[in-house]
Amino acid sequence: MRRLEPLLGPATFVAMLAALWWVFMVVPTEAQMGIVQRIFYFHVASAWVAFGGFFTVAGASAVYLWKGSPGADRLAIASAEVGVLFCTLVLVTGPIWARPIWGVWWTWDPRLTMTVILWAIYAGYLMLRAFGGDDDGVARYAAVLGIVGVLDIPVIRVSVRLLHGIHPSVLSRPEGGTGLVDPSMRTALYVSSLAMLLLAGWLVALRMRAERLATEVAALRRAVEERG
């Protein structure tokens, strides 16, 4: 991660420019929803990255519970922060897209409701880490929460089909096929997802470095206080 960190910033910048160019200059305007549909490429990409971040929290938390690795704990914290950030983007861009299409900013659709619950779980994780102190027991309780919380993601994935919500299923439709009829639409989604993934990786690397430096500063402060 330390070797890749200097490359992530420039790579993210280039990927973001490519995504913006592809979404606003190449992709055709969707026939039914119009120009507002272009937010889809960032909305879905943010959701994928948020889910990836929360899966990383679960994996890193499992390693921390197993081996007690401080590095795994730092990765879990950083991934939770970035995951909550991108989940917030999902909850913000969704209503912007929904207002012209559904006529309302928000509705308690099953997928939307489960996404809010997912956001609340990991927001609670971050609050526990922020206000629970440096006790190992708090870190372990948070790790368990980070693992359990990820179980909400499969529920979100199948909620449209099982609970018959009104949230559209664009990538794969129940009747077959996909809503991305033009090949450039799929390319735009992939490019946007790559840009969001690089951004998330860069932010995680920066947060892990900040956590590592904070730990070293705290250790130095304790050493100074012990010497008097």
Q: Does residue 177 have a pLDDT over 50?
A: no
Specify whether the CB–CB gap between 143 and 61 falls below 8 A: yes
pLDDT digits (tens, 9 = 90+) for 130-172: 888 777 888 899 999 999 999 999 888 777 667 665 565 555 5
| pTM reported for the whole predicted model | 0.86
pLDDT digits (tens, 9 = 90+) for 55-72: 999 999 999 999 888 889
Residues found in the chain: 228
